[in-house]
Structure 1
Amino acid sequence: MNDAAPQNHDISRRSVLWTAGAAGAGIGIGGLGTGNAAAAEQAGAERAAPQGPPPQRKGRTMIGVPFQRRSAVRVGLIGLGNRGGSMIDLYLAVPGVRVVALCDPVKAKTEAAAAKVKAAGQDAPAVYVNGDHDYEHLLRRGDIDFVHIATPWDTHFEITKAALLNGVHAGVECPASMRLDQLWELVDLSERTRRHCMQLENCCYGRNEMRVLRMAHAGKFGELLHGAGAYIHDLRGLMFDPTYYEGPWRRLWHTRLLGDLYPTHGFGPVANYMDVNRGDRVVSIVSVGSPARGLAEYRAAHMPAGDPSYKESYVESDRTISLLQTAKGRVIRLEHDVSTPHPYSRINSLGGTKGLFEDYPERIYLEPDQHDDNWGDFGKYADWDHWLWKEHANPPGGHGGMDYMLVYRLMQCMRLGLVPDFDVYDAAVWSAPVPLSHQSMKAHGAPQPIPDFTRGEWHRARSGVDSEKPAEA
């Protein structure tokens, strides 16, 4: 799932095994339904325990590795719920893309998605609906160039791993994994199989984010000092809706981990501003959190007596605040809150020696343009828009067009044989605050080291989302 911004979704059921059942796989959730918060916390701690880096690289770096050029990109989609069911429309809208295979255990969803493919004038796609692991058959077809994985968080790692081992480039929704050891394994697999593994972080392609990125790289903010990002979105009603998340898989994570469950929407754009993995890197994280009260209070006010949710004990902080330090001394603040009343915000701020930008609402203060403590109009900086937004001023799809920009640019890179805008090292770094914020909070705010997933390659300056427009479309 990816909930970058509020929007309406079709509410339909996902396989029980892909939600409630899969949510417990490998976590030891026997005590999670008992109301025992200590047992729940221990289960999360065991799952999230940091692991040291592998002793040596198992393959050549994937930094700077281009896709193989192709005339058409053959795409498979695994998971056709709220997220995957909407993303298929965007793949069908991009020239040079063929949707050849679809997978979801709920047959009606797969049939509806297949109908969209045929309505777009493409050949009927192959469908895979026979249980939790039918995605394995999709990935073994031999005619899939790229797979979009839009399933519950618990399944991301295993499906992404299977894709890489079958020679398929993988794009996975946020986060890539909830465990540090699995993030390392994805890095190793990408390097060994020579296939890219990408975190499909749509917020990196937001219009404001891309404008700020270009301005930052042009020196408009001076020397960069600090930034902030967040996922603040009141999801209480949706998490207790029996059909929206099609089972309690997302809510159950609040019984397992203490820290930031969904850092990438805020972290990815700020990491891009600061060239993380491209000249700087994050080296440590310190996390603190408020008490966990919001979900229990909402349950008491809205759920009937006897509802199964009353067996759950919530330990994940209502508001988690993390401070990350970079090798260059910069500071990144991340926040997460989906359990209390609050207008939607990703914060999205960046500050330097010449001024700052803050979002929600958007405002800017740059010397010499602004003075006397009066915010400036960010709209006046539209000339700094990324070339993607200049070419596609009114993109289709949800989340203000950022979903389409993500798909369009990724497919363009694959079709033209370009280096992707981000890679497995970005996926690992952006997802690492999930387990590490938990560990820091368990240790009463003790700093936790963030691994160098690039194994020293972060020193090299290189391009990313702030890309040059290719000579051919």
Structure 2
Amino acid sequence: MSRFFTSPREKVGAAADLDTAASGFSRRNLLGGALAGVALATAASSGAATAAVPARKQGSRSMANEPFNQVDTVKIGLIGLGNRGMGMLGSWVSVPGAQVVAVCDIRGDRATRAADRVANAGKPRPREYGGSDASFQKMLDTEELDLVYIATPWEFHHAQGKAALKAGAHVGVELPIATELDELWDLVDTSEQTRKHLFLMENCSYGRNELAMLKMAHDGVFGEITSGHGGYLHDLRSLLFNDGYYTDDWRRIWHTKSVASFYPMHGLAPIAAAMDINRGDRLTTLTATASAPRGLADYRERFVPRDHRSWKEEYINGDLVTCMISTANGRMIRAEHNVSQPRPYSRINTIEGSRGIFEDYVGADATGARVYAEPIHSGDTWRGASALRAEYDHWLWKDLEGPAAGGGHGGMDYILQWRIVQQMRTGQVPDIDVYDSAAWCAPVPLSVASIEKGGRPVEVPDFTRGEWKKLRLGLDSVRTAMPAVV
């Protein structure tokens, strides 16, 4: 039993849905029925229309708790070899039991450079596909792939992800997996029909602080979890106007055509995992607001020559887009996106409950986080999170800290890639599934719907079609080994 708090899961452990959960759970802190009832009543009176849940396609069934088909070597094909795709290539090559067998980019020279890098690392040279917008389909039609990794501009994710599923591969997609609700549903349905997993490559879910926070929350360190706050706050102005960094200006162009919260997932996903979203709770309503779009135009005015093509653009995406999201069990999540104003990088990463709070706060101590939790703390002073993080350090970081050091984003890229390959080689259930991915990406289109309605709430669909009520494993996983490479 937790030394902090007896969770509702411990109190009602005989409940049928909870008994279906796999062994090895940390203690969960699902709120009691009374508070959940208040939340549902509030949602019903908010004015938000009930989100349509289409019937499951004939012959399909849920992918929740569906294990990967076990393979000895994970054969990987890469689609998209710009900054992100090339940045992830090194770890795909170095993870034990992974083999990059095909690389693809509409620009054929990028595929050649990627193949050269793999060969220079002493691995078999992957086959190259490129030169047209149909090259990815040729790769899918030609190769027998276990995993397809997609790192193209956002507008291509849905079509390429669906095509990879239909080709018989599991699919990892960079953020977001799709930008429209019907596309999200289509990926859910296609995953269920093909019996292949599609998941968001949400590297921040594997951050060391995020995973430690998850374990603390599940062990009751903060009491009953009531709220969370996360986001993607990153000054990208210089990169958005850096010719060539984002091919064909694709990312800046999004600021001229949509008011969406483009990228809240880095902050939202770790909070959702700590709250067992889709694993005992679910997102129900979203309300979005946006500040005026001033940052990019101001940067252009000061730093971009007048003959630059960007002067033909009008930016409509608010500098700060905030989504307030409620859950079925009465919790609240604030998810933010801001890449257009001067500020140091932050994902915020805060979880709060009846007995304490965890907050990533750069400069607080060596971990970059601060914490306050009763009864171990008292008074009115933040504490550095080092001691608690050491106690609740996730097994992935304990086992992989050395190899991860060479990976991107402080090592969490490597942790994510290693874990995907390990789960496929051992036939485990993925930590992140298509339902998590759809729910975490739903704020992209839903923020547009809410903002266009003057900030009124909109319903978040239940992509699980009722499976969310069952508590099950996710990122709070049980230690397992990577099989030896024969």
Query: Shorter-chain TM-score category?
Result: 0.7 to 0.9
Alignment partner of 1:53: what SS? coil
Picking from 382, 388, 391, the partner of 1:383 is 391
Please say if 1:420 is aligned against 2:430.
yes
Moved more, 105-114 or 400-409: 105-114
Alignment partner of 1:272: what SS? helix
Shift of 1:442: 1.0
- Which amino acid in structure 1 is aligned with residue 293 of structure 2? A
Shift of 1:56: 3.5
For the residues of structure 1 that align with 2:260 and 2:360, how far apart are their CA atoms? Answer: 24
Please say if 1:369 is aligned against 2:379.
no
For the residues of structure 2 that align with 1:328 and 1:174, how far apart are their CA atoms? Answer: 27
Alignment partner of 2:217: what SS? helix
Please say if 1:53 is aligned against 2:49.
no
Name the structure 2 match of 1:319.
320
Q: Does the CA-based 8 Å contact 2:283-2:328 persist in structure 1? A: yes
- Which amino acid in structure 2 is aligned with residue 164 of structure 1? L
For the residues of structure 2 that align with 1:142 and 1:108, how far apart are their CA atoms? Answer: 20
Please say if 1:170 is aligned against 2:144.
no
For the residues of structure 2 that align with 1:94 and 1:67, how far apart are their CA atoms? Answer: 18
Moved more, 229-238 or 387-396: 387-396
For the residues of structure 2 that align with 1:321 and 1:471, how far apart are their CA atoms? Answer: 40
Moved more, 299-308 or 354-363: 299-308
For the residues of structure 1 that align with 2:193 and 2:290, how far apart are their CA atoms? Answer: 38
Name the structure 1 match of 2:3.
none
* Structure 1: stretches of 5+ with no match in the other structure: 1-49
For the residues of structure 2 that align with 1:198 and 1:471, how far apart are their CA atoms? Answer: 22
For the residues of structure 1 that align with 2:472 and 2:299, how far apart are their CA atoms? Answer: 47
Tell me the TM-score normalised to structure 2 length. Answer: 0.85
Name the structure 2 match of 1:148.
149
Name the structure 2 match of 1:331.
332
Residues 311-339 of structure 1: per-residue CA shift (max 9 Å, x gap): 21111110111110000010000111111
Q: Does the CA-based 8 Å contact 1:62-1:194 persist in structure 2? A: yes
Shift of 1:142: 4.2
For the residues of structure 1 that align with 2:64 and 2:328, how far apart are their CA atoms? Answer: 19
For the residues of structure 2 that align with 1:57 and 1:454, how far apart are their CA atoms? Answer: 13
Shift of 1:108: 2.6
For the residues of structure 2 that align with 1:351 and 1:72, how far apart are their CA atoms? Answer: 42
Alignment of 1:260-279 (within 5 A): 260-279=261-280
For the residues of structure 2 that align with 1:128 and 1:352, how far apart are their CA atoms? Answer: 50
Residues 248-302 of structure 1: per-residue CA shift (max 9 Å, x gap): 2111111122131111111111110000000000000001111111111111111
For the residues of structure 1 that align with 2:383 and 2:187, how far apart are their CA atoms? Answer: 43
- Which amino acid in structure 2 is aligned with residue 363 of structure 1? R
- Which amino acid in structure 2 is aligned with residue 247 of structure 1? D
Picking from 436, 441, 446, the partner of 2:456 is 446
Alignment of 1:146-295 (within 5 A): 146-295=147-296
Name the structure 2 match of 1:393.
401
Alignment partner of 1:247: what SS? helix
Shift of 1:372: 1.3
* Structure 2: stretches of 5+ with no match in the other structure: 1-49, 363-368
Q: Does the CA-based 8 Å contact 2:57-2:193 persist in structure 1? A: no
Name the structure 2 match of 1:20.
none
For the residues of structure 1 that align with 2:458 and 2:108, how far apart are their CA atoms? Answer: 44
Alignment partner of 1:230: what SS? strand
Name the structure 2 match of 1:42.
none
Residues 90-141 of structure 1: per-residue CA shift (max 9 Å, x gap): 0111111111000012233212211222223322111001211200011112
Name the structure 2 match of 1:353.
354
Picking from 437, 453, 471, the partner of 1:461 is 471
For the residues of structure 2 that align with 1:143 and 1:292, how far apart are their CA atoms? Answer: 46
Tell me the TM-score normalised to structure 1 length. Answer: 0.88
Name the structure 1 match of 2:32.
none
- Which amino acid in structure 1 is aligned with residue 214 of structure 2? L
Moved more, 128-137 or 206-215: 128-137
- Which amino acid in structure 1 is aligned with residue 192 of structure 2? E
For the residues of structure 2 that align with 1:250 and 1:406, how far apart are their CA atoms? Answer: 24
Q: Does the CA-based 8 Å contact 1:259-1:287 persist in structure 2? A: no
Moved more, 299-308 or 311-320: 299-308
Alignment of 1:32-71 (within 5 A): 52-58=52-58, 59-71=60-72
Shift of 1:471: 5.8
For the residues of structure 2 that align with 1:171 and 1:125, how far apart are their CA atoms? Answer: 19
- Which amino acid in structure 1 is aligned with residue 297 of structure 2? A
Alignment partner of 1:393: what SS? helix
Q: Does the CA-based 8 Å contact 2:225-2:331 persist in structure 1? A: yes
For the residues of structure 1 that align with 2:482 and 2:231, how far apart are their CA atoms? Answer: 36
- Which amino acid in structure 1 is aligned with residue 448 of structure 2? H
Residues 22-41 of structure 1: per-residue CA shift (max 9 Å, x gap): xxxxxxxxxxxxxxxxxxxx
For the residues of structure 2 that align with 1:57 and 1:356, how far apart are their CA atoms? Answer: 42
- Which amino acid in structure 1 is aligned with residue 393 of structure 2? D
Shift of 1:454: 0.3
Picking from 408, 415, 437, the partner of 1:405 is 415
Q: Does the CA-based 8 Å contact 1:346-1:360 persist in structure 2? A: no
Alignment of 1:86-105 (within 5 A): 86-105=87-106
For the residues of structure 2 that align with 1:322 and 1:240, how far apart are their CA atoms? Answer: 26
For the residues of structure 1 that align with 2:449 and 2:108, how far apart are their CA atoms? Answer: 40
Name the structure 2 match of 1:44.
none
Q: Does the CA-based 8 Å contact 1:234-1:341 persist in structure 2? A: yes
Q: Does the CA-based 8 Å contact 2:51-2:461 persist in structure 1? A: no
Aligned residues with identical type, % of pairs = 48
Moved more, 57-66 or 203-212: 57-66
Alignment partner of 2:248: what SS? coil
Alignment partner of 2:128: what SS? strand
For the residues of structure 2 that align with 1:133 and 1:270, how far apart are their CA atoms? Answer: 38
For the residues of structure 1 that align with 2:211 and 2:200, how far apart are their CA atoms? Answer: 17
Q: Does the CA-based 8 Å contact 1:51-1:181 persist in structure 2? A: no
Give the length in aligned residue pairs.
424
Name the structure 2 match of 1:82.
83
Q: Does the CA-based 8 Å contact 2:279-2:472 persist in structure 1? A: yes
- Which amino acid in structure 1 is aligned with residue 416 of structure 2? L
